[in-house]
Structure 1
Amino acid sequence: MPAHPRPNSKKERRQESEKLILAAAEKVFSEAGFGGATMQLIADMAGLPKANLHYYFPTKEALYRQVVENIFQIWLKAADVFDDADGPAEGIGAYIDAKMEISRRHPAGSKVWASEVMHRAPVIQDYLETTLLQWTAGRAAIINRWISEGRMDPVDPDHLLYLLWATTQHYADFGHQIETLNGGQPLSDAQWDAAKENTKRIILKGIGVVDPADSGPSGQADLGSRTSRPE
């Protein structure tokens, strides 16, 4: 019995083909940009006839948009931790973990997104003005609630989110630079764990939040000096 049996149903074959195409497109768009990428290059990378690409994605723009939306949906899923978190330590800490892991697992997708935005989002500007705007407003409301409850220092939620995005996505967008500074080697599992822990510690302490891992045996910390405000 083969280790990877071929999909049997029409639906499974379609899903497998789309997966191959999207993975190849993500890589080609990340390296060549939208203008430099061609459907033939993507077909060659996927190991499929060019006609197959046009069957699933009629135009290069449609395929590009799907690649960009896919990485954004992955980012949105990572942000679910905000909605159910007990507080900023748990919510922001888990968000940093998730975003760092996405940078590790999907570096090409992050580069595609960065390149699109740096070119003033010619393909996905409508997405930025709707989905991203709504998502950011929702997370900002949660951060403002934590601030009003005295659970973190008063900071501008938008700028905090920009900081989180820039820091975590740096590990994807500037992966080559990081590898160069790491002796020409990709980060090991231990180094990724250390990067996540250091990033959480620096950011959480910077906004006046105590990471539960750094607090005493009860999991609590003395927040009096932080939450006290002059009358």
Structure 2
Amino acid sequence: MGGTIVEVSIAAKEFALGHTLATLETVTIEVEQTITTDRDGLMPFIWFTTDDSHALERALTDDDSVTDFHLIADFETDSLYQLKWNDQVNHLIRVLAEENGAVLAATGQDDSWHLRLLFADHDAVRRTSEYCEGQGIPLEIKNIQEFTRDSQTRFGLTKSQQRALQLAAIHGYYSVPREATADDLAEELNISHQALSERLRRAHGNLVDHVFLNRVGTPEVAETDSNEDVASE
């Protein structure tokens, strides 16, 4: 068993930093990944992207979901803060931790949060979903997928997409001037020119989504190598 990944959305006002997101229309919030055994410490470090740090701290001061905050690092428009949450946020975090859930990615923007969660199995997902429903916690499930060694690598890439990108980089496909053509790569991978083109396009899209936009719920995330190859042939 490789675990189950669940992608969910939840209104910011029902979870965390609702006031901050509503006050600063252009702010983007991302969770800094940490390893912790503290149920109340699953989301202690948060990245904020905004060009007005003073407005951000005023918003955090007035945000009921935050009981305290400290600036850890400041890099122009990106700032890392350590936050302490109120009881409502800690309660939902404890719900996720109860089934040994892990937050793989979390992004807050506009009026909602998008989270990618990892659970041991489908039963843990079901129990968490049922508990949230019974407690009136509006957790909207967007996507469920198995997490196995063969399903995907980091950044949502399938094994074949990662292989294509590695081969392209090794042979100078991205060099200027280009040292290898798409036909060269297709021949090396023993696939058609069209299949290579689509594989690279999907890989580039997944990299942009996961590295720059940190999106969840995109169709390519759940795509397997076999499905991709069938679609490309």
Shorter-normalised TM range: under 0.3
Q: Which has the higher strand share?
A: 2
TM norm structure 2: 0.26
| Relative contact order, higher structure (CA 8 A, sep 6+) | 2
TM norm structure 1: 0.26
Q: Which has the higher helix share?
A: 1
